[in-house]
Structure 1
Amino acid sequence: FLSWLDFLDELVLGAHPLVADAITEAVEEKFFLGILQPQLLEMSELAVLGATAVLAGTVRQLRSPALLQRLVLFLLGPQRLPETPGDSPHPLRAQLIDRCDHLCDEISLASLRLFEELLRKPHEHVAHNLVLRNLEARAYLQRSPHVSEERGPPETDPEEDGLELEEDPYFTDGFPDDFGATKNPSPASGRGRVSEVVSR
């Protein structure tokens, strides 16, 4: 499979744009939608695990921008606007994200590896779809001009310069050596203080 994928990847890289577009469209239709999507939406844990591992390997191996673009849109969808609670998410994206916290640890790890491989790719839509689209609307992005990194020494408060710590009279080293030690009552009396009797 990986040899076939590498062949198609090289073919798309070196082909005329019209031929490359036809190949990527066929790969999306026959492989992504025809084979991978049904396996990824399966209920069987073994099928899901295998399909997720194949998908992570596919993402890792792809180098052609055209095939990578089709794969990213297949997995994440074309949405670029911030997510809101009433929106219907891209079904495959939502399923893959939910599987990162699956009951089966192997499926969770395979899903996390898939997203790790996706985030390693130099593709703008991956970062935007998974992270930035939800940060932009909430003003988490810094939109101010770049501030110079050269800063002077931190300013000191003039009142702090002359402060000296006072000694706390309650915490001194002058405690007697037997402070806090309990004395054993004499065995002849058979009695002691209540705290000593209870602690025996």
Structure 2
Amino acid sequence: MTAKSTAKPTVKPHVFGYGSLVNLTTHSLGEPRTGTLHGWRRGWYDTAARPLAFLTAVRDDSSSIEGIIAHVPGGDWQALDAREAGYDRVAQTGICVRVGPLELAVYAIPPRARIETAPRRPILLSYLDVVVQGYLHQFGPEGVARFFATTDGWDAPVLDDHSAPRYPRHRRLSSRETALVDDHLAALGATRV
């Protein structure tokens, strides 16, 4: 007769990424896999913390967003918190993915930190490029279309910084990837500055 184990499985800390974290070339988080976060969508918002629009997850019971779920190596939330400065780390449930027990968080700008600006602060194109490249590699062209469809705030202008990228983790896009970004922005009627 063998004894039953009463030890609880080890719970690994994980993050749900819905923006630049979807681009696996921008980080070294472990065991990335795709997943869906239910009850949320994305939006571009202005905050006092930055002169550019922030991409954030916002609660919306009628929506779901795709992204990646990745292990936070060594449970080092401090390093990830530094990368995601300006966001609150929110403990999360409602993730659709087949994994064992996990501690999961999503980074979101708290409603109290959002401000109204006129004119709207711009979306940084070098950041958007990184996000779209990640969605293309993880979810294909249909996933890119779903990213644009489940993101609000496209009335903000798009700051074209291709000649001198301002996003610190910018990536070079292929001509196909650049055309994909351009086509979606044109379809949305986005203004480039």
Return the TM-score normalized by structure 1: 0.26
More contact order relative to length (CA 8 Å, sep ≥ 6): 2
Higher strand share: 2
Higher helix share: 1
